A and B are shown apart, each in its own frame.
Chain A
Amino acid sequence: MEMGFRWDFAYEILPQMLWATLNTIIAAGVGYAIALVVGLFFLLGQRTPSKIVNVINRELVEFIRSTPLLIQLFFVYFVLPQFGIKLSAWLCGMITIGLHFGTYLSEVYRGALEGVSKTQWEACRALNFSTVYTYRRIVLPQAFPIAIPGMGNYLVGIFKDTPLLSTIGVAELFHAATAVGGYNYRYLEPYTMVGIIFLTLSIPAAMWVRNLEKRVNVAQGKVKQ
């Protein structure tokens, strides 16, 4: 077998890899969208007055957060069909990622809401604003900027966890690389290219998040410009 990096082979498989990258981006985007919504539901569970709901919600979040995403994927993918629910690998993957990262995002939301000063609530109470109005016009506009960095970090996090989807057969970038590698008995180029593609996408994204964080801090008056 030829040693060293074969550029011609890398060039040959490039189109295939780029197509698969598109799937990775779609998976990350859809998974993130689901996670954003799921996070809201966990947040609601946390803030309802019912103690029982609070406890169940907290334990559920704790359970999902402290078990590996990989086994959760297997669980959803293999167990649901036993109960007669047949979902595609894509759908299973998206649901699992959404659920897993939803727990993390609910913590981000919670932190952001708690970051809004209590006096804001008291002021709204004094002005006789309704709860809905208080959330919509006073609390959420202030909480959102606090949540942005955390939300951005988990977008990058989800993007980096999408290769796990290949284990249940979702045809994303890593899956394509493994397939190409197995077909040609060469793993050097495909896996190296996956690494490079990830770097070229996630480093700018991470920089963008960091920049956003800085701007949010400035806008909130935490640091001087």
Chain B
Amino acid sequence: MSYFAFLTEHGPTLLLGTVTTIKVLVCSAILYVIISMIFGLMRLSKNPAIQGIATVYIEFFRGTSLLVQLFWVYYVLPFFGLSLEAFVAGVVALGMNFGAYGAEIVRAGILAVPKGQWEAAHALNFSPTKRIKRIIIPQIFPIILPPAANLTVELLKATALVALVTVVDLTFEAKQINSITWLSAQCFGTALLIYYIMARFALVPFLRWLEVVAARKVGR
């Protein structure tokens, strides 16, 4: 079977899987950004209890393997009466895992904001919430976006794992087609190419654009 014939026959299936992969990516990216912000801020709290919770969370999720967390959420949580759909389980596991890595980026970003900004906000009698929300957060984006972009490309790669908990994404479809046709080179090669195109020509340019916008917003 020529490669062209392979594409006309199985291309649509792979593209359908790609749509699911994109859905997983977008949902887990939103979740991981929210978690990173919350735990990044908690990590800098002066309250030892709040800081402790954040530290335990981050160490736990960074210390264990994503695949283990994914399987735990999908196969073990039902033991505690919480059955999640495969898609939801995948998004939750990805979001929580990458949220732990993101929280460290957010923490470093906040620490990198010059001290004078804190002092000026203090001098102007801003409340602590307003200080964080209006002065500090807007300034961290140019600092955190480059490392966050790397993390997001890692996230795209990590979405492949959700296929192992039966989410019908690109990897799952590729595996499925492989087990029917045994055209391994074609189906896994195509899947690799699709991931590469998504990362190199869609996700990375988008993230670079975000970096430019963020830098412009703070007048750089």
Residues of chain A touching chain B, judged by Cβ–Cβ distance below 8 Å, are 3-4, 62-63, 66-72, 74-75, 78-79, 82, 160-164, 166-167, 174, 178, 181, 187-188, 191-192, 194-195, 198-199, 202-203, 206
Contacts and interface: CB of A to CB of B under 8 A. Distances in A.
B157 interface: yes
A199 B68 CA distance: 11
B113 interface: no
Contacts of B79: 3-4, 187-188
Contacts of B67: 163-164, 166, 174
A163 B69 CA distance: 11
Interface in B41-67: 59-60, 62-67
A20 to B, nearest CB: 13
Interface size band for B: 35 or more
12 contacts: A4-B79, A68-B157, A69-B160, A70-B164, A71-B192, A75-B188, A78-B184, A78-B188, A160-B64, A187-B71, A194-B68, A206-B62
Contact of B160 (A63, A70, A181): A70
B171 A71 contact: yes
Interface stretch (B118-126, B130-138, B195-203, B207-215): B195-203
A192 B158 CA distance: 21
Nearest to A63: B196
Contacts of B204: 66
Contacts of A178: 71
Given A69-B157, A202-B63, A195 B68 contact: yes
A70 B79 CA distance: 28
Contacts of A62: 200
Contact of B65 (A75, A78, A161, A192): A161
Given A66-B153, A66-B200, A71-B171, A195 B192 contact: no
B191 A71 contact: yes
Main secondary structure of the interface of A (DSSP, over half): helix
A69 B71 CA distance: 18
Contact of A79 (B60, B175, B188): B188
B144 interface: no
A79 B185 contact: yes
B65 A174 contact: yes
Contact of B76 (A78, A164, A187): A187
Q: 10 nearest interchain CB pairs?
A: A78-B184, A68-B160, A66-B199, A163-B67, A75-B188, A68-B157, A187-B75, A198-B64, A70-B160, A160-B65
B68 A198 contact: yes
A55 to B, nearest CB: 15
